[in-house]
Amino acid sequence: MERDPRVCVIGEDVGHYGGSYKVTKDLAGKYGDLRVLDTPIAENSFTGMAIGAAMTGLRPIVEGMNMGFLLLAFNQISNNCGMLHYTSGGQFKIPVVIRGPGGVGRQLGAEHSQRLESYFQSIPGIQMVACSTPYNAKGLMKAAIRSDNPVILFEHVLLYNLKERIPDEEYVLNLEEAEMVRPGEHVTILTYSRMRYHVMQAAKTLVNKGYDPEVIDIRSLKPFDLYTIGNSVKKTHRVLIVEECMRTGGIGASLTAAITENFHDYLDAQIVCLSSQDVPTPYAGTLEEWTVVQPTQIVTAVQQLCR
């Protein structure tokens, strides 16, 4: 916002309250109420307003207090945000960033535990990225703001408390590039967001058992970084996908299709996908835990893949 006066933030409680998870803390005092604009509880209205502002040359950042609430703005995100550059014959760019907390939290109930990447992935013209560390959250956010394309940035409700030393100097990450988290030889594990930490926990167990997993945080949910993914598949010949998204129509399903279409001849085993169960997320803590993938399931899946 300091670098570019066209950047503004729009959403519920983003102003003097600092956002529901304090992502915009102190920004209203620094940049004023018009650049950090508190809105009514009306996601369809303020998302549409942000898209209109982008058409006039601003670079709005829309915060959904919870990503599940953005379903109320689905028409604006799909029919306007994703398509206006095309339907206007290229007359308008829509440099909008839509971001906010999502994923399965700690007993937040079904409506506040949405994983909307499966809903939004089929919208033409939209890019989707998921951050998983403070370092890539900052780098991806900067890249999304500077992009002329509409970008949905998925943040996980349970990752806001992570701490990490990040560079003082300027850096911007590539919106379409995966991250090699751990090189390995035996199996490629593709994951993103919170599940990165479940995978790395499982990787410690797997190494102790004699396995050498390669872990990739795909980060770009649309489009996929098939260059990085393909090179890994050609090396390990086995793929395990671990996601918190729903199994039916999720990111894992699309990733499975992309790998099968492009790298089928390099596979020595069927692709395995571990996803959340196709049920509303329960409020009860024990039941909630059972609906998402756990590290023990990842260990078992790798052992079966590498037999």
Instruction: Give the torsion through C-alpha atoms of 172, 177, 73, 122, to 10 deg.
Output: 160
237 catalytic? Reply is no
Site of tokens 């940035």: 153
128 and 115 in contact (C-beta within 8 Å)?
no
| Contact (CB, 8 A) for 288 and 104 | yes
Residue type, 99: R
> Which tokens belong to 200?
């790395």
- What single letter denotes the amino acid at residue 17? Y
Helix, strand, or coil here: 83? coil
Strands of the chain (E only): list them: 7-11, 36-38, 59-63, 97-102, 127-130, 151-156, 179-182, 187-191, 213-217, 220-222, 239-246, 272-276
CA distance 274 to 264: 19
The answer to whether residues 276 and 293 touch, using CB atoms and an 8 Å cutoff, is yes
CA pseudo-torsion sign 143, 146, 152, 154: positive
Total length of the chain:
307
Quote the DSSP letter at residue 133.
S
Active-site position among 43, 63, 214, 244: 43
Q: CB atoms < 10 A from the CB of 235, how many?
A: 15
Cis check for the bond before 124: say yes or no (omega within 30 of 0): no
How far is residue 122's CA from residue 266's CA, in Å, rounded to a whole number?
27
| Identified catalytic residue from 12, 63, 85, 112 | 112
Residue with tokens 């020595």: 268
Mark whether 43 is an active-site residue. yes
| Cβ neighbour number for residue 86 with a 10 Å cutoff | 11
Catalytic positions are: 43, 112
